Chains A and B, each alone.
Chain A
Amino acid sequence: MLEAAPEMDWLDWILLVARVVVVFFAVLISVMLLIWMERKVAADMQTRMGPMRAGPRGVLITLADGIKLFFKEGITPTLADRPVYLLAPVIAMIPAFLAFAVIPFGTGVTLFGRHVPFQIADLNVGILWVLAMGSLMVYGIVLAGWSSGSNYPLLGSIRSTAQMISYEVGMGLALVAVLMYSGSLQMSQIVASQDRVWNAIPQFPAFAIYLIAGLAETNRPPFDLPEAETELVAGYFTEYSGIKFAMFYLGEYVNLVVVSSIAVTLFLGGWRGPHPSFVAWLWPLLWFIAKVVAVVYLYIWVRLTLPRIRYDRLMSFGWKFLIPIGLLWVLATGAVVVLPDVYGKGALLTGALIVVGAILVASLLWPLIAPRRQSAGETPQ
């Protein structure tokens, strides 16, 4: 990449910076809308109104909240490790933004005689970049919990660390299956490989695993153990207030957008979709946004539907179901990818793949559906 650097002139640099700025603000705005959307959807499901005052139908409620938090007094606990305490919210936010760098929002547009892709950097190792940023998100939580110098945040952050490390493995396996199926680590290539059928269909188990692991990665209900109010007050950011709290809040929702965007890119065909030929650059962008909204809606729906899972169940589910099934699925995908090269029965195997996927999903959901016979012997902690 840096090899190519000398060929860039000032216009390229300006376009690059412009893309970064646009993406940054787009994400901020999307988070604002996302929080409003979540509150409205929640209210709708609970048959109530939700925020109504700030802006039309309360659309500016997030802005109001932000202003409020910005002006609140910033309290630093006495026992806190001051530099780390101040650093932690920033660290929590940055990886989420960085992950956007490799996500293609659309095909691109031609400006000043140059092709400008709707993507900041089409990294050769795009999926790994996503994974790397995902694994960095844990730092904000860990450091926040530790630097607060208080017990609840510490416990919350230890839980969070364990949970995120565990589910990262499952998520990684899902991504491995996808990259094997698509044959590339590059985001644009993965999107391009879904021109016939979305990965979500042949890779349905991987999609399911990714969605579940994404829940855990974003610390959202029903996997919001790190900040379980009833057990840990507010979890790792108990001691945070004001603008620092706002940063955590922001980071969390950016994270949600990132996870959804990646899900869309990897499994739902990215910006692909049928569109008219005029203003060709716009329709993929709209398709992308629509898909992301759909996935986010799914997450909100799940949050409002399912109760919080007990911590040990969470861990055993991650280690004993998600990871083994992920491993099996990687194996099956490998077979599907390699066997046609040997036997040339691609179509047949794709069919078999769908069948196996369905069986695996059934087994994945079975423990949730089947009556718990052994639950009598278990004692909640």
Chain B
Amino acid sequence: MAPDQIVFWVFAPVSVGSAVAMLFQRNAIHAALFLIVNFFTLAVFYLVLGAPFLFAVQIIVYAGAIMVLFLFVIMLLGVDREESLVERLRGQRPLAIVLGLGLAAEIFVTARASLGLARGPANFDETVNVGGNAQALSHVLFRDYFLPFEVTSILLIVAAIAAMVLAQRRERTTVEAAGEAEV
């Protein structure tokens, strides 16, 4: 068994298991922790697939920033109480599970039929990741995808401003809150 196969068969069950565990955790923080585990396994898969840059970005962005933000918000809002297990929507759970399984089955069948056991070029690191993954990726990114890159940077600025505007407590609301407190 090649190392990458070992990695796959070790981490794939962890990945699926952590995802399923996230699904069943009643506590939001625990769910977030399992999701972090899942993200780590994905990072490992990126490494296996010849994308060390994305491996690092995955950890920095998802594990390091996004999930911290999630934890931060959960703790800030104090919504870490146990979630009620009563489902008020009739048929929601069975339908959701059936549909989820159906989707997975469909993709399974499609991948089996169309991809088979294809593995891609054998010497990926030599032919594609020329001069290292980061360098090769930057060549693609700053040549072929330069305009999307710039647009995305604008999107980030917009998102930052949007977050600031949304998170800001307006003066009016503070006054209202004060009024409510007095009453």
- Direct contact between the two chains A and B in their complex (CB within 8 A): yes
Chain A interface (Cβ < 8 Å from any Cβ of B): 1-3, 5-6, 81, 83-84, 123-125, 128-129, 131-132, 134-136, 138-139, 142-143, 145-146, 154, 157-158, 161-162, 165, 168, 185-186
Task: Tell me, yes or no, whether B14 is within 8 Å of chain A by CB.
Answer: no
CB-defined contacts of A136 to chain B, threshold 8 Å: 59, 63-64
Q: Nearest-CB distance from A50 to chain B (Å)? A: 37
The answer for the CA separation of A288 and B64 in the assembled complex, in Å, is 29
Given contacts A129-B56, A185-B134, contact A154 B33 (CB under 8 A): no
Q: Nearest-CB distance from B81 to chain A (Å)? A: 12
A2–B47 touching, CB < 8 Å: yes
CB neighbors of A among B15-31 (8 A): 27, 29-30
CB-defined contacts of A154 to chain B, threshold 8 Å: 75
Q: Nearest-CB distance from B52 to chain A (Å)? A: 5
CB neighbors of A among B29-72 (8 A): 29-30, 33, 36, 47-48, 50, 52-53, 55-57, 59-60, 63-65, 68-69, 71-72
CB-defined contacts of B149 to chain A, threshold 8 Å: none
Partner of B56, one of A2, A83, A125: A125
The answer for the CA separation of A3 and B29 in the assembled complex, in Å, is 37
The answer for the CA separation of A136 and B55 in the assembled complex, in Å, is 14
Q: Nearest-CB distance from A283 to chain B (Å)? A: 30
Q: Nearest-CB distance from A80 to chain B (Å)? A: 12
The answer for the CA separation of A158 and B80 in the assembled complex, in Å, is 14
Chain B interface (Cβ < 8 Å from any Cβ of A): 2-4, 7, 27, 29-30, 33, 36, 47-48, 50, 52-53, 55-57, 59-60, 63-65, 68-69, 71-72, 75-76, 80, 123-125, 132-134
The answer for the CA separation of A381 and B93 in the assembled complex, in Å, is 48
A2–B48 touching, CB < 8 Å: yes
A146–B53 touching, CB < 8 Å: no
For residue B3, which residue of chain A has the nearest CB?
A5
A146–B71 touching, CB < 8 Å: yes
Give the one of B36, B60, B64, B68 with max A CB within 10 A.
B64
A135–B3 touching, CB < 8 Å: no
The answer for the CA separation of A84 and B7 in the assembled complex, in Å, is 26
Given contacts A135-B68, A142-B75, contact A84 B57 (CB under 8 A): no
The answer for the CA separation of A136 and B61 in the assembled complex, in Å, is 11
B75–A135 touching, CB < 8 Å: no
Partner of A1, one of B27, B30, B52, B71: B52
Q: Nearest-CB distance from A27 to chain B (Å)? A: 21
B52–A165 touching, CB < 8 Å: no
CB-defined contacts of A5 to chain B, threshold 8 Å: 2-4
Partner of B53, one of A2, A81, A125, A131: A125
B71–A132 touching, CB < 8 Å: no
- Other 11 A-B pairs with CB < 8 A, given A5-B3, A81-B30, A143-B71: A1-B47, A2-B7, A2-B48, A129-B56, A132-B63, A135-B65, A157-B75, A161-B71, A165-B72, A185-B132, A185-B134
A158–B76 touching, CB < 8 Å: yes
Given contacts A131-B56, A154-B75, contact A125 B65 (CB under 8 A): no
Contacts between chains A and B (CB distance < 8 A), count: 93
Partner of A158, one of B3, B36, B75: B75
Given contacts A1-B47, A124-B134, A142-B68, contact A131 B7 (CB under 8 A): no
Partner of A165, one of B2, B27, B68, B75: B68
B30–A135 touching, CB < 8 Å: no
The answer for the CA separation of A162 and B55 in the assembled complex, in Å, is 25
CB-defined contacts of B27 to chain A, threshold 8 Å: 81
Q: Enumerate 6 A-B pairs (CB-CB under 8 Å) in ascending A order.
A: A124-B132, A125-B55, A136-B63, A142-B71, A154-B75, A158-B76
CB-defined contacts of A134 to chain B, threshold 8 Å: 64
For residue A138, which residue of chain B has the nearest CB?
B68
Q: Nearest-CB distance from B129 to chain A (Å)? A: 8
Give the one of B27, B52, B65 with max A CB within 10 A.
B52
Given contacts A2-B3, A128-B53, contact A165 B29 (CB under 8 A): no
The answer for the CA separation of A154 and B80 in the assembled complex, in Å, is 13
B59–A132 touching, CB < 8 Å: yes
CB-defined contacts of B4 to chain A, threshold 8 Å: 2, 5
Q: Nearest-CB distance from A140 to chain B (Å)? A: 12
9 cross-chain pairs, A with B, having the tightest CB-CB distances, nearest first: A135-B64, A128-B56, A132-B59, A5-B3, A125-B56, A124-B132, A132-B60, A3-B125, A161-B72
CB-defined contacts of B134 to chain A, threshold 8 Å: 124-125, 128, 185
CB-defined contacts of A146 to chain B, threshold 8 Å: 29, 71, 75, 80
CB-defined contacts of B133 to chain A, threshold 8 Å: 124-125
For residue B33, which residue of chain A has the nearest CB?
A84
The answer for the CA separation of A2 and B30 in the assembled complex, in Å, is 32
CB-defined contacts of A124 to chain B, threshold 8 Å: 52-53, 132-134
